[in-house]
Amino acid sequence: MDRIDKKLLSLLQEDADRPLAELAEAVHLTPTPCWKRIQKLQQLGVIRKKVVLCDPAKLNLGLTAFVAVRTTQHNEQWLRKFAAAVQSIPEIVEAYRMSGEIDYMLRIVVPDIQGYDTVYRKLIRAVELFDVSSSFAMERIKYSTALPVDFA
């Protein structure tokens, strides 16, 4: 991946709706070679998909919870059940298996504390958990979906 590909990725992560002619001009190419580079990045899986980012406040999703989950179950069957439960609850927008004392970290977006409690109850009905600890975001200081491209 060269500097042109990296610049294209940066521009597309900023705004995937940017017209091809504008992208091409920004990277000093004509539209056809620019389009071919974008197609290649898609074929290689570097660009996985293009999405729309919504404003949580406009969707009445004013509460973000970070949930640390610990379990005493460390087997494939439990993990499959947990993963299925997490996938089935749309308010859980991110889930990670962690190293250290916490087994899993979830990010949940809901309208309010009652919404969080509903998600919590769905999760504990679906799978046995040892400990659940929640922290609620007071303010978003930084949020980005753009990945740094300098390491490619």
In a domain, 28, yes or no: yes
Q: What is the CATH number for 25?
A: 1.10.10.10
pTM value surpassing 0.75: yes
Question: Would you give the DSSP letter of residue 100?
Answer: S
**Are residues 67 and 34 located together in one domain of the fold?**
no
In a domain, 147, yes or no: no
In a domain, 77, yes or no: yes
CA distances from 27 to 22, 34, 40, 135 (A): 9, 8, 16, 43
The beta-carbon contacts of 53-61 under 8 Å, at least 24 apart in sequence, are: 53/145, 56/109, 60/111, 61/109, 61/110, 61/111
pLDDT in tens, 105-140: 999 999 999 999 999 999 999 999 999 999 999 999
pLDDT in tens, 24-64: 999 999 999 999 999 999 999 999 999 999 999 999 999 99
Domain that holds residue 7: 3-43
